[in-house]
Amino acid sequence: MKKLIACMLLAMPFVAAAQEDEKDSTETNCCNNGLTREIRDLYPRKGKFYVEWGYNNSAYSHSDIHFWGSGYDFSITDIRATDGQTPFSATYYKPTEFTIPQFNWRIAYYLSDKTFISFGQDHMKYTMAKQTTKLTGHIDANLPNAGTYDHAEVTVGEDAEVNNPGPGYIDNLPKGFVSNFEHCDGLNDFALEIGRIEQVWISKNRKHALAVTGSAGPGMVIPDSDVDLLGQPPKHDMEAGKKAFHLAGYSLSASLGLQLDLFRRITIQPRMKFGYINLPDINTTEYGGKASQHFNFIETFLMVGYTFKINHNHAVKPAK
């Protein structure tokens, strides 16, 4: 967030300098008491589109996860998870690698100067950390860790690559139940939103503006889940280049942030999103295993966009 604020502060002097060279478009009206007040125009948005690209960080609430399949049915509780954002490097701007980090894209249309609809993707990542948990359920005798469990303390996530503290006392607990669980090639939330913009500043030439913006709406979540469960082959196999994208559930979310418009074309948006994700149908293993979970999330992101208008009005040539 410090980087986002720094970018906006650097842009403001440039905007202020540009506006001084343009004609003042404000009007002055006289009130009944003889005082004057300044009336600013709304920044023109109606009928325009914009496309955006950016990057995010996310955090998740704890959740319970239920696993079931041929010969097993059990749950683990109060699971802690983290995201997997790539540290800033050349990866963010290399043409062949810029989609590796957690990213966002969105396209929107302004129904009016203040109201818009948008559709886009939030590509987050979710990895279960190495931790202890309570396990309840049944595993058949032909599978590892066979038995019936009632809030038994076990270790999960022992093979996690993110936030894994290494060997410790928890390794003395039973393990091998869920050694890895992650939505690794994206906790992909495709959301349709309606939003509102409230202008707080506009330049005198009406080319630059600053506004508070918010939006909300539902989404469909299509993760690619990598799950190592009871030693069974996972549906996702990174080494073999095998993906497991699957419509696993839905989301409900709302976001709030700032929007800086520059030269009527460029947009810069630092925003924060709050949401709920419910995944009742997660693919886990090659043998048809499934899992379910639901959790809340907080996401911060910075997006840069381009505004344009599709003009359908064509000049009619006069008849000869």
Question: So what's the pLDDT on residue 14?
Answer: 44
Q: What is the pLDDT of residues 66-111, one digit of tens each?
A: 999 999 999 999 999 999 999 989 999 888 999 999 999 999 999 9
- Looking at the predicted structure, is the pLDDT value of residue 244 above 50? yes
Question: So what's the pLDDT on residue 18?
Answer: 42
Question: So what's the pLDDT on residue 53?
Answer: 97
Mean pLDDT score across all residues of the chain:
87
- Looking at the predicted structure, is the pLDDT value of residue 162 above 90? no
Give the model's confidence band at 238: pLDDT under 50 very low, under 70 low, under 90 confident, else very high.
confident
- Across 148-160, average pLDDT: 96
The one-letter amino acid code at 237 reads: D
Cα gap 27→149, rounded to integer Å: 75
Q: What is the pLDDT of residues 44-56, one digit of tens each?
A: 999 999 999 999 9
- Across 251-277, average pLDDT: 97
pTM (2 d.p.): 0.84
Give the model's confidence band at 240: pLDDT under 50 very low, under 70 low, under 90 confident, else very high.
confident
What number of CA atoms fall less than 13 Å from residue 273's CA on the CB side? Answer: 33
Cα gap 213→202, rounded to integer Å: 15
Question: So what's the pLDDT on residue 75?
Answer: 98
Cβ neighbours for 319, distance < 8 A, ≥ 6 positions apart:
none
Q: Tell me the β-bridge partners of 60.
A: 297
Return the CATH fold of 45-308: Porin (2.40.160)
Q: What percent of the chain has pLDDT over 90?
A: 73
- Looking at the predicted structure, is the pLDDT value of residue 116 above 80? yes
Cα–Cα distance list, 103 to 3, 226, 317 (Å) = 16, 19, 47
92 exposure class (CB count in 10 Å sphere: 0-12, 13-18, 19+): middle
Q: Residue 262 — φ and ψ, nearest 5°?
A: -125, 125
Question: So what's the pLDDT on residue 130?
Answer: 95
Question: So what's the pLDDT on residue 32?
Answer: 44
Q: Where are the domains of the chain?
A: 45-308
- Looking at the predicted structure, is the pLDDT value of residue 34 above 90? no
- Looking at the predicted structure, is the pLDDT value of residue 171 above 80? yes
Q: Tell me the β-bridge partners of 210.
A: 201, 260
